[in-house]
A = this chain, B = another copy of it.
């Protein structure tokens, strides 16, 4: 496969399967001198951890991270940081049925078609459990960002669950509800809605928004490592994501030029924009506005309704996917999206230092 890494200079390789002995991330390219402890990473893993409330899978995992290399006397050394999370809840169970049948909407069939290997233990490598490793790597990225760009903040939240959207961005509310939604009313409504879905064994999709506030102007490497290009790849690589948009996003298709282009004026601190349809990115380079990305997460295909499928031997059959699953996997995608944003932003902070010439352009 050989494609389990991402990033240009801050380079993360994740490894491990859903039910193997451990999983983790090999983080290469973190600058030296960044204060780093397991606790700084653990806080983000805890945010993603399953089994925290009735809306997420009841699989119990401590998701405790160990730092095996790259840190000496409390600081990064510039050498690879190995982050390991041991799998503790590898519940021994009868996989017989799943081992023979392909679950619709899952990667079982394509992994089989590509690799000729059927790791039926919870999806193996294609399980969303892989995202724990991303979150750990993102924790490292956040600490490095603190050193390089102390004012930069990365915040993620859910803005749509099924047909219920919210336009509110009350950031104080995000931590107050299990959906990370920045809207107290939506939180209440969604709780009832999702409870119904959960009880009926169904599932639903979601839309997540991730914002980087305080990113300096100049991040992004045209033409093929634009900031938005890298963010699109980062988010699309997350399990179950089917769409990614920047700023006005898909709505840009219906706007006129007058409605879309953000006007510019000058303030003492630098250029300001009348709006942010651009999502903080012009020509692939950050403007200094908020960098805004949204992505759609499909509903998990593990539901209690009987579905038609086929077996490895090519026979038509039916399947019900029992087990411990999330009625809305989008909830746990929030910290994952934040982690990917952190990794991409750090990568471009580092890249930018290697790319600039003698003089950056000054305005005024």
Interchain CB contact under 8 A, A363 and B112: yes
For the complex, give the distance between the alpha carbons of A79 and B283 in Å.
13
Q: A17-B77, A112-B363, A233-B236 are known; give 7 further A-B pairs, CB within 8 A.
A: A33-B359, A72-B117, A114-B218, A116-B362, A205-B260, A236-B246, A252-B296
Which of A4-12, A43-51, A57-65, A175-183 lies on the face that meets chain B?
A: A4-12
**Closest-CB distance, A250 to chain B (whole angstroms):** 4
Binary contact readout A1-40 vs B (1 if CB under 8 angstroms, 0 otherwise): 1111111111101111100111110101101111000000
Interchain CB contact under 8 A, B252 and A298: yes
Interchain CB contact under 8 A, B115 and A363: no
* CB<8 Å pairs between A and B, sample of 14: A5-B224, A32-B117, A105-B282, A106-B283, A107-B282, A114-B218, A161-B253, A207-B250, A236-B246, A245-B296, A257-B301, A257-B303, A260-B301, A264-B308
For the complex, give the distance between the alpha carbons of A247 and B298 in Å.
11
For the complex, give the distance between the alpha carbons of A75 and B9 in Å.
27
For the complex, give the distance between the alpha carbons of A277 and B312 in Å.
22
**Closest-CB distance, A267 to chain B (whole angstroms):** 10
For the complex, give the distance between the alpha carbons of A111 and B284 in Å.
9
Contact of A197 among B243, B256, B305 (CB under 8 A): B256
User: Contacts A28-B13, A125-B79, A260-B299 known; A357 to B4 CB distance under 8 Å?
Assistant: no
A300 CB within 8 Å of chain B: yes
Binary contact readout A123-167 vs B (1 if CB under 8 angstroms, 0 otherwise): 011100010000000000000000110000000000011110000
In chain A, positions 247-294 with a C-beta closer than 8 Å to chain B are 247-266, 271, 274, 277-279, 281-288
**Closest-CB distance, A280 to chain B (whole angstroms):** 10
Binary contact readout A325-364 vs B (1 if CB under 8 angstroms, 0 otherwise): 0000010000000000000000000111111111111111
Interchain CB contact under 8 A, B261 and A301: yes
Binary contact readout A197-221 vs B (1 if CB under 8 angstroms, 0 otherwise): 1000011111100000000011011
A110 CB within 8 Å of chain B: yes
A109 CB within 8 Å of chain B: yes
User: Contacts A5-B11, A125-B77 known; A299 to B266 CB distance under 8 Å?
Assistant: no
Interchain CB contact under 8 A, B258 and A360: no
Interchain CB contact under 8 A, A355 and B78: yes
For the complex, give the distance between the alpha carbons of A282 and B77 in Å.
18
A314 CB within 8 Å of chain B: yes
For the complex, give the distance between the alpha carbons of A220 and B246 in Å.
24
Q: Which B residue sits closest to A159, measured CB to CB?
A: B253
In chain A, positions 58-98 with a C-beta closer than 8 Å to chain B are 66, 68-70, 72, 75-82, 84
Q: Which B residue sits closest to A232, measured CB to CB?
A: B236
Interchain CB contact under 8 A, A356 and B252: no
Interchain CB contact under 8 A, A70 and B15: yes
Q: For residue A124, which residues in chain B have a CB less than 8 angstroms away from its CB?
A: 72, 77, 79
Q: Which B residue sits closest to A107, measured CB to CB?
A: B283
User: Contacts A109-B282, A255-B298 known; A264 to B116 CB distance under 8 Å?
Assistant: no
For the complex, give the distance between the alpha carbons of A4 and B284 in Å.
12
Contact of A285 among B8, B79, B111, B255 (CB under 8 A): B111
